[in-house]
């Protein structure tokens, strides 16, 4: 089992939930869902290489996740307790205890390295309900990257309309390293903005001192897109 490496979570396996909400904005918390835990357990140990069980101890529901160690020829277990949700208390405890036990196995520990995520009121809808504030918006992780220490190094969060509400860019690559090419969908969005505004590609390249769009880094892309978003649509 020493050779088994738990992979890091993908963007689509991470949930965003509102934490504190005020008239000025809201904070977001990152969670993993139980389906991701199951999928990663299957990938790392095989469909029949892990098992789960639940135990009630002092009125609290615990989950034990066990994985098969082929070298030692024995099951290795990790256990944690769940907390009850506001609805379906027993089901909520079972799911929460399973997800927590999976963290003990090593799944999703990287989420504990997440930055403080604040979405200002200008980028989300805030509603006052009695003495409390709430938001009807939904959020999801569009992009996430990690460093060599399995810590979150880059993060982009969007709302239900696909609008970016939070961004933490990965640090620039070290000397001698090359940054991977920008994603195709990013470049498609860039070209749409050029068409909308009527700005020439050559003008953008000249402004940022690069010879072609293939040389565009994520930092230059971010600056160029912010500038284009502030540019009016060209006359029809």
The full set of domain ranges for the chain reads: 11-168, 184-229
Question: Mind listing the pLDDT tens digit for each residue in 35-65?
Answer: 999 999 999 999 999 999 999 999 899 999 9
What local confidence, expressed as pLDDT, does residue 31 receive? 93
What local confidence, expressed as pLDDT, does residue 171 receive? 57
Q: What is the DSSP letter of 102?
A: H
CB 67 within 8 A of CB 105: yes
What local confidence, expressed as pLDDT, does residue 114 receive? 92
What is the DSSP pairing of strand 25-32 with strand 117-120? antiparallel
What local confidence, expressed as pLDDT, does residue 170 receive? 62
Q: What is the DSSP letter of 162?
A: S
Residues of the chain with pLDDT under 50: 173-177
Q: What pTM value is reported for the model?
A: 0.66
What local confidence, expressed as pLDDT, does residue 89 receive? 60
What local confidence, expressed as pLDDT, does residue 151 receive? 93
């Amino acid at each position: 089992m020493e050779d088994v490496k738990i992979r890091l979570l993908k963007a689509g396996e991470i949930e965003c939930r509102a934490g504190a909400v005020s008239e000025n904005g809201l904070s977001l918390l990152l969670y993993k869902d139980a389906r991701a835990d199951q999928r990663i357990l299957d990938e790392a140990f095989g469909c029949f290489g892990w098992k789960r069980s639940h135990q009630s101890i002092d009125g609290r529901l615990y989950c034990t996740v066990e994985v098969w160690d082929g070298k030692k020829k024995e099951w290795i277990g990790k256990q944690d307790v769940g907390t009850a949700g506001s609805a379906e208390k027993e089901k909520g405890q079972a799911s929460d205890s399973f997800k927590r036990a999976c963290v003990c196995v090593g799944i999703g520990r990287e989420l504990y390295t997440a930055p403080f995520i604040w979405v200002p009121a200008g980028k989300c809808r805030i509603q006052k309900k009695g003495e409390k504030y709430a938001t009807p918006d939904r959020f999801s992780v569009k992009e996430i990257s990690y460093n060599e220490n399995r810590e979150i190094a880059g993060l982009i969060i969007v709302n239900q309309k696909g609008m970016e509400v939070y961004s933490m860019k990965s640090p620039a690559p070290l000397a001698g390293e090359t940054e991977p090419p920008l994603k195709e969908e990013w470049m498609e969005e860039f070209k749409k903005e050029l068409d909308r505004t009527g700005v020439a590609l050559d003008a953008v390249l000249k402004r940022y001192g690069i010879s072609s769009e293939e040389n565009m880094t994520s930092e230059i892309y971010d600056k160029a897109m912010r500038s284009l978003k502030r540019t009016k649509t060209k006359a029809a």
